[in-house]
Chain A
Amino acid sequence: MAPHKTTPDYDSDDAMQDVESMQVDSVGAKEKTVKDDLEHMFDDDLDDEPMVDASNAHKNSSGKVNITAISDIPSANPSDPEDMLQFYSRLFPWRQLFRWLNHSELPSTDFAHREFAFTLHNDAYLRYQCYPTFETLRRDVLNLNPSRFEIGPVYSTKPRDRKQAKGSFKPIEKELVFDIDLTDYDEIRTCCSKTKICIKCWQFVTMAIKVVDVALRDDFGFQHIMWVYSGRRGAHAWVCDKKARKLGDGKRRAIAAYFEVVKGSSQSGKKVNLERPLHPHIRRSHDILKDDFKQNILENQDPFRTEKQAERLLQLLPDRQLKEALREKWDSTIERPSSDKWKDIDALAGSGVSKTIIPKVLLEHKQDIILEYTYPRLDAEVSKHLNHLLKSPFVVHPGTGKVCVPIDISKLDEFDPDAVPTVTRLLKEIDQWKNPVKEEDDGVSTSRVSDIDKTSLKPYHDLFSKFVQKLLNAERPSPTEKPLHTEKSVKVKAEEMDF
């Protein structure tokens, strides 16, 4: 163990050694907790729903949860199946997930007709799973121990009964979703590539969230928008307003197109070509992004530094004479930083190097460039289809071990993907947790602290609960039915009931 490391970097190989040794030490304690938990779970289980559709019998090799397996030494795998099992049994917010998708406390078809899809560790993919309650869903997850699971639409009938329903089986609602992924930024991010990510390129995601979030609220009037870290290099938005859930494909496509500003995929050519005056949505986005462009793009990404990169900038600018003057200036200074080059544009244009330059045209081109480097690049296909599946919040990303936590939009700038807890870290936090209350005070107090409260997942969990509660309040049939005091009491009760 390495006690000197208080916040170890679990994603680096060095740190992993520490984790391994720590895990070996704590195996005994862990085993007991899981066992208790499982027993408790089966006691509670009054439901006769079959565990898995017989036709989809890709049962996990272990079938039932194999408790002895826990004594195996965890590998360096960031999403070790055994850790995952621990996570899903002790830390996953099942009840809140249920309330979120069910839109009420009483079980309804909103939840029961919802499709869940599992990716198992052997890469089998189980679609059209459905559950009457969160307990049955939880039980199946613990049984199958999937490497991840996704949420699909609510169907006209139970997805498992789709064959009997024949033609009438169709998706009827699902949250409107958005997917921002840094792979779509690879041509403009210079700091990392492929699956790598750092705080610098995370800013692309931050900028995208800012622009999309405000537009969804101010333009489209949606209120219940949850942003979720996708576990590696992106974020998802779940727009949960009733109206959003009921949108058909055509209207989803319209929204996706509304957000389509950066067009074309080739390396060359100007990808933002907007008509003037700018549409108010674009105008607002530009105003939000223009300062970010200076800091996140010109300073941090420095995308026009080399001669070849600078040529790309020249391509995007108007006026031959101005471009020639710029090229000449930049040729004489090797690797002049992007911010300086950006300033050079106005400086040279103002100094009269070109007789043909039209200030308005130059300004418009500069606006287009800012948008090309900052405006959201959404994976539109994800948003366009009612029946598209998306990874559930709080699932562990199998590649990174990070939990797909919700992002607090009010502290968006503070969000750091590197600080997102991994499943291994969370389990360690449980093991290391010491009851601040003295033992002799009250023997019961220890058991009353839930596992989640022992970990750094707690704030994310609270954020989710708050979001769900707000959504449920809005879904209530009529405001006259909720006198002020009940709202408070329901809230308290809901929090108590978790886990």
Chain B
Amino acid sequence: MLGRDAIRQKKREDRKAAYGNKLDATSSSYPNKGSGLPYPHRLNFYTDPPKDEVSLEEFEQWAIDRLKVLGEIETCQFRNNTPTEIDTTLRKLLDKYLPLNSNSSIPESERSNPRRFLGLTNERKKDHYSHFILRLAFARSDDLRRRFTTTESILFRHRFTTDNTIERAEFMDSLQLNSEVVGEAEKVSLAEELKAVLISGSKMPAEKARQMFEQEQYLKVDWDRVSDLVEGRKVFLRRGYAYVPNSMLLSLVMAEFSKRLDESLIKTARYLPHLDEDDRLIPILNHLSKGFTAPEYTSSTSLASLSGEAITASQIDNLSSHFPLCMKNLHASLRRDKHLRHFGRLQYGLFLKGLGLSIDEALIFWRQSFSKFTDDQFSKEYRYNIRHSYGLQGAGRNYKPYSCQQILMEHPPGAGDSHGCPYRHFSIENLTVAMGRLMGVEDRSVVNGVKQDVEAKKYHLACNRVFEYLHEKELKKKEGGAGKETITHPNEYFDRSWGLKNPGKRGGDGSEVQVKDEDVTMT
């Protein structure tokens, strides 16, 4: 039986230390509280590290299954999905990889029977263990820790909000937040005060405020359990109790969840160097952490050509008809101003590099484009910069073209900047003008659709909508095949566009898009 001893007793103890299990008081009462079952609740705050041994196969398989879920959450996040949309996505995915049924799925009379409960116990054990295994894999860098906490928090929120109300209340009790439901009579007697806090600053009409208040449920907790809400006078206080509306309770629980996880991960990180080097866990953990990365686009063109010949600086103007709006905008700004500011050069330069523009051609392209500068100025100010972005100077890092996620999230443009995502960073008016002028999109229904996407903060959908409109004919010919995949990278946009408009040349239909996993943080 391979790996029955994979995690030896000593390791478990070490790991227990690494998980920073301070809550000894809780570990004795929970999860064994009352029922005698190891996992009386569906939800888990992951305060106690695993106690039992698992096989190496289980160790790896459980972690991989959880990783699939977390990876999908990141994708949803980057697509700016609403919590409802994430819930829909997760429901299917969790059924497959990480099911977690509520106690109510078995008859009440049989719940105290550990045998009847075995199915639930196993699900919960997998959830519990896989969480802790991934902690070990993702504690190693700031970036991984941040992403792990974010995705785990979203997963927890999904489960929390979809949990059976009674069981959720029981779980809340187990967290020892010492809360008490505010009865209707008390709520009515404090209506004026509670309402004032609830709608403060919202400028809500009276009728709407009344409705909102009527629907709200309140919990009473010791004020110091929600001291951050007290700090901002976000709750009503009376005789030492804070009156927390249910709507705020979720954010309270979430804040507590991420805070505890952040703290535990830092402790785990400190412990990591003490894992034995010959430990069989190390390669598994390394492999796992590599699996959890933002998809990075690797162009299938790879420094080669679009039609058998290398791309040259002079072709860029023509090729720009296949650019997404963000790159079109950068290109137009460059032509207009004969200059781009730092992040603009970076975003556009790396994109061109992704097209296959060689360093020599890139230097020619930028030299010609910056026509208002002398050779001397150009050499001093920009040459180094461009070579640097190709990894030929400075740190020698081979920078990769920015993904939509990076463009949306990092370095928001300021006044005078041209980089960023126009769907996100432009005003609606400017966006409409830019779509018309740069992309030739003036069709009313498309423009309105884009406006709706933008309002819903679904910038990638707006971009894809424009793509689909501009390639309508070609996509139809392909009978709606591979074109339905959402574009998540400017270079992907270009490759697909070029492929659709030039069938037969280089693979042709643009479906040969590769998304390659690579762990940026491990380099």
Contact = CB atoms under 8 A, between A and B. Distances in A.
B200 A219 contact: no
Contacts of A279: 196-197, 200, 233, 236
A221 B224 contact: no
Interface string B207-245: 000000000000000011001101111001111110000
A247 interface: yes
A250 B229 CA distance: 12
A479 interface: no
A277 B227 contact: no
Nearest to A221: B240
B205 interface: no
Given A220-B240, A247-B224, A257 B197 contact: no
The contact size tier of chain A is 20 to 34
Contact of A278 (B196, B230, B232, B241): B196
A219 B193 CA distance: 12
Interface string A258-280: 10000000000000000111111
A253 B193 CA distance: 24
A276 to B, nearest CB: 7
Given A257-B232, A277-B196, A279-B196, A220 B227 contact: no
Contacts of B233: 258, 279, 281-282
A277 B195 CA distance: 9
Interface string A276-290: 111111110000000
Contact of A253 (B201, B223, B231, B237): B231
B227 A254 contact: yes
Contacts of B197: 279-280
Interface string B340-370: 0000000000000000000000000000000
A277 B230 contact: no
Interface in B170-208: 192-193, 195-197, 199-201
B231 A218 contact: no
Interface in A226-260: 243, 247, 250-251, 253-255, 257-258
A214 to B, nearest CB: 12
Contacts of B239: 218-219, 221
A279 B230 CA distance: 11
B231 A257 contact: yes
A247 B224 CA distance: 8
A275 B197 CA distance: 10
Contacts of A281: 233, 237
B316 to A, nearest CB: 51
SS class of chain B's interface: helix, strand, loop or mixed?
Answer: helix
B223 A280 contact: no
B241 A221 contact: yes
Contacts of B227: 250-251, 254
Contacts of A283: 196
| Residue of B195, B224, B236 contacting most chain A CB atoms (<10 Å) | B224
A420 B228 CA distance: 40
B224 A251 contact: yes
A80 B331 CA distance: 82
Contacts of A251: 224, 227
A277 B209 CA distance: 11
Contacts of A220: 223, 237, 240
A343 to B, nearest CB: 29
Interface in A95-113: none
A255 B240 CA distance: 12
Given A220-B237, A247-B224, A276-B201, A258 B231 contact: yes
A284 to B, nearest CB: 9
Given A258-B231, A279-B197, 15 more contacts: A218-B238, A219-B238, A221-B240, A247-B224, A251-B224, A251-B227, A253-B231, A254-B227, A254-B230, A258-B233, A275-B201, A276-B200, A278-B200, A280-B192, A283-B196
4 nearest interchain CB pairs?
Answer: A221-B240, A275-B201, A254-B227, A219-B237
Interface of A: 218-222, 243, 247, 250-251, 253-255, 257-258, 275-283
Interface of B: 192-193, 195-197, 199-201, 223-224, 227-228, 230-233, 236-241
21 contacts: A219-B223, A219-B239, A220-B237, A220-B240, A221-B241, A243-B224, A243-B240, A250-B227, A251-B227, A254-B227, A254-B228, A254-B230, A254-B231, A257-B230, A257-B232, A258-B230, A258-B233, A258-B237, A275-B201, A277-B200, A281-B233
